[in-house]
Every structure is written in C-alpha cells, then in structure tokens.
Amino acid sequence: MPLLEGRRGLIFGVANRRSIAWAIAQALAAEGAELAFTFQGERLEQGVRELAATVGSPLVVPADVTSDADLDRVFEAVDQTWGGLDILIHSVAFAPPQTFEQPFVATTRDDFKLALDISAYSLIALTHRAATLMDRAGGGAVLTMTFNASQRTYPNYNIMAVAKAALEAEVRYLAFELGSRGIRVNAISAGPVRTLAARSITGFTVMEEHTEKNAPLRRNITAEDVGNAAKYLCSPLAQNVTGQILLVDAGYSILGMSL
C-alpha cells in the first residue's frame, strides 16, 4: 500500500512547476495522498489550477497568508471538502527585494514586519487552524521550509535569515505544544535550489556554485530531493519524529571550512 494512501494534505506555496512546494506535492501524490492547494493572487491562479489538476486535486483556493479572513475561508473549504486534515505543507516566504541588496543594518521597520509576518508568523496562523482539523483525524504532520542562513551568515540573505531563525523556533514550540494531540511539526532545511524565487536573491548563483564545489557530496540538491524528504516526514515512517530540522544540503552544513 502507498505510504500516504487515504491521507489528505493542504499545500501552501506552489507558484509554478519549479516550486519546492510542487516537488513536495508530486512526492506526496505519488504515495497516494489527496491534495488541496492555495494560490497567491490572480496572476498565479491558472498555473496552480493546471498543476493541481494533474494530481486530481479536489480543491484549489486563493489565500493571502497575511489575511486572517482568507485563512479562515481556506480552512472552512477544507473542512467542507474533507471534514479533516492529515498533512499541512507551509512553503511560504517573502521579503521585499531591496532587503536582499541593501546592507542588513539598513533594514526598515516595515520591511522587517512584512518579512516576519509572511515568512514566519504564517506558520503559526496556519497550524492553529489546521490543528482542529487534524484532531478529527487523530493527529497529523505539519512541515515547513527553512535554510541554514538561520544558523550561519550568508551574504545578502539578510532579513530572510532572521525570519527563518524565527520559523525554526516556532517548529520547536509548536511540536512541544501539539505533540500530545498526535500532531508532528518539522522543517526541512534545504540547500540552494534553483527556483524562480531563489534566483531573485542577489548572489544566488555564486551561492549555488560554492555549495556544489565544497559540499561533501560535491553536488547541489534538487527540488525532488526535498520532495523525497517531505514524503518521509509526512508519512508513518516518521511517526516519532517531531520538532526537528532535517538538513537536505549534500552535507554542506557540516563544514567548518572548505579546502
């Protein structure tokens, strides 16, 4: 039997077929999961709907993660469609473009608030709503995406690194609080992946080349590698794994220095 047969998952963060969230969706669907999707804005709607149709999704809804009203509507739709939820994928992050170019010390209050709201607080908001639906299923799995800039400095990553550090702390606190309800909360810390969003980060190609040259495995990872890790964390194989940050980075994070 497929690992996720009969499981229902809600995925935030698909923008196009190169999105990490889409690679995760494909991996979950291949193991029998039924999936619902959200999209951000009319510009992305058609593309997300077309992708969702390829995995037989019964539900595709708009969602602005900064709007509580939007999130309420999303989870109401999930409730009406399924009456419960087993998997929540949070692959959402944003910081204003200028924050990847200007000095970190020049970060404005408004840019800080926006980056932390979308990239970090949204995990709390989504998990709070998902938990009620997961209770009906006897538990569930929440998965988010982070990056090692939360622990180490990376040129130009700036305020997004702060958001990822906050996100990782949330993973631990949510896992602690929701564990008694059978809800597991984990994160994947992925190495550089060539998504459209990532390539907008100043110096991303340099980061990618440096990782490939210096990682112990001497290669970069792919979105499919992240999807396979997500499949494990969302499945019964990881039933006793929670509050963890799983590094999928070809070993780059173990380095103290490169030769």
In this predicted structure, which of 71-75, 220-224, 255-259 has the lowest mean pLDDT? 255-259
Mean pLDDT (whole number) for 150-177: 96
**Architecture of the domain whose range is 8-251:** 3-Layer(aba) Sandwich (3.40)
Task: Give the HSE-up count for residue 114: Cα atoms under 13 Å, Cβ half-sphere.
Answer: 12
Instruction: Produce one character per residue of 15-32: b if its CB has 16 or more CB atoms within 10 Å, e if not.
Output: beeebbbbbbbbbbbeee
Mean pLDDT (whole number) for 224-243: 98
- 3-state secondary structure (DSSP) of residue 93: coil
Q: Catalytic positions, please? A: 157, 164
Mean model confidence pLDDT for the chain: 95
Extended beta strands in the chain, E state: 8-12, 34-39, 59-62, 87-90, 140-146, 183-190, 245-248
pLDDT computed for residue 259 by the predictor: 65
Q: What pTM, to 2 d.p., does this model score?
A: 0.95
Model confidence at 204, pLDDT cuts 50, 70, 90, reads: confident
pLDDT computed for residue 30 by the predictor: 98
**Which has more confidence, 255 or 133?**
133
